[in-house]
Structure 1
Amino acid sequence: MANTYTQLYIQFVFAVQNRISLIQPRWEAELYRYIGGIVKNHKHKLIAINGMPDHVHLFVGFHPTQSISDFMRIVKGESSEWINNKKFVLGKFQWQEGYGAFSYGRSQIDDVYQYIQNQKQHHKVRPFQEEYKLLLKKFEISFDERYILNSVE
């Protein structure tokens, strides 16, 4: 893309189907490396990835040749297929439908990076649903409570 210059930093947040805590410490780092490979293969730059057993935060320098929705479809599709092929979980692993995508400026990179790196510590204080709703409110995104990444009842 000659003469196209961009600076796009996007944080993605997506959850395991029904918010079940399936991502286990014994294979979590391998999953993050796999997702990092997907990011790189699609010309994006991985800045940070981390999460909890029920969700993932992914922060990338986003390349403009791909849409956000296509990128998320590929990341979630290829990583769930990888998890299933590795037989890391009993039954079929799936990511929950939907995701959050939040844009940041260059001056915010360090803060978002630290926030993602400290997910496990952060979630000792604040549950995921509360964190996710705060992100939506911070970015002034209207949402329907029925479609927030809810746990199984």
Structure 2
Amino acid sequence: MANTYTQLYFHVVFAVKGRANHISPQWKEELYKYISGVVRNKNQKLMIINGMSDHVHILLGTKPNCNLSDLVRDIKANSSKWINERRLVSGEFRWQTGFGAFTVGQRGLKKVIAYIENQEEHHKRKKFRKEYEEFLKTYGVDYDSDYLFEPD
């Protein structure tokens, strides 16, 4: 649309089903490149991606016509298919249902990028569940801790 200018950023977080440690250091960079391609093919911008063996953090720059739920659904569906077709895990790889998405302002980009870059160091001190609950609290998201990451 002519004369429409936006800067929309989302910090997206999602976990492996059951928070299993299935993402291997041997192939995680290939996975991240694949996910980057999915985002690019949807005409959105992946700013940074990183994570741990049981979850992924992505900073996305989106256009105003982006349906974030559809984009994350496509990222998860295509990446799990990619993992399963290559038989990178024993059994079937699946992502946990749902995701967390948190808006990021221009002033907060450097901080979020540094946070995502330093996942390995960060998780030496804090487990994923605690990290995720802190995001939900910080952003004022109502949730019931009894139902976080339940099997679906």
Letter of the 2:39 partner, please give it. Answer: V
User: SS of the residue aligned with 1:26?
Assistant: coil
Note the aligned Cα RMSD (angstroms).
1.1
User: How far 1:4 moved relative to its partner?
Assistant: 2.1
Q: Deviations over 1:95-117 (max 9, x none)?
A: 00010000010111110000000
Structural mapping, 1:49-64, within 5 Å: 49-64=49-64
Give 1:2 deviation, angstroms: 2.3
Deviations 1:109-130 (A, max 9, x none): 1100000000000000010000
**C-alpha deviation, 1:133, in angstroms:** 0.4
For 2:8 and 2:53, the matched residues in 1 are separated by 28
Name the CA distance, whole Å, in 2 between partners of 1:146 and 1:3.
46
SS of residue matched to 2:73: helix
Q: What is the alpha-carbon distance in structure 2 between the residues aligned to residue 34 and residue 100 of structure 1?
A: 20
- Give the drift of 1:64: 1.8
CA distance in 1 between counterparts of 2:51 and 2:149 reads: 14
Q: What's the CA shift for 1:12? A: 0.4
Q: Distance in 2 between matches of 1:37 and 1:2?
A: 27
Task: Report which stretch shifted further, 37-46 or 25-34.
Answer: 37-46
Give the equivalent residue in structure 1 for 2:143: 143
Instruction: Find the aligned partners of 1:33 and 1:147 in 2 and give their Cα distance.
Output: 31
What residue number does 1:87 align with? 87
Partner residue of 2:12? 12
Provide the secondary structure at the position in 2 that maps to 1:25. Answer: coil
Aligned letter for 2:52?
A: M
| Superposition TM-score, scaled by structure 1 size | 0.95
Indicate the percent of aligned positions where both proteins have the same amino acid: 47
Letter in 2 for 1:30: E
Report the CA distance between 1:149 and its aligned residue: 2.8
Q: Secondary structure at the match of 2:14?
A: strand
Alignment of 1:28 onto 2:42: no
Secondary structure of the corresponding residue to residue 27 of structure 2: helix
Aligned partners of 1:139, 1:149: CA distance in 2, in Å?
18
**How does the TM-score come out when normalised to structure 2?**
0.96
The 1-side partners of 2:35 and 2:56 are apart by 10
Letter in 2 for 1:130: K
Residue equivalent to 1:122: 122
User: How big is each residue's C-alpha offset from its partner over 1:39-67, in whole Å with a ceiling of 9 and x where there is no partner?
Assistant: 11111111110000000000011122221
Return 5+ residue gaps in structure 1 as ranges. none
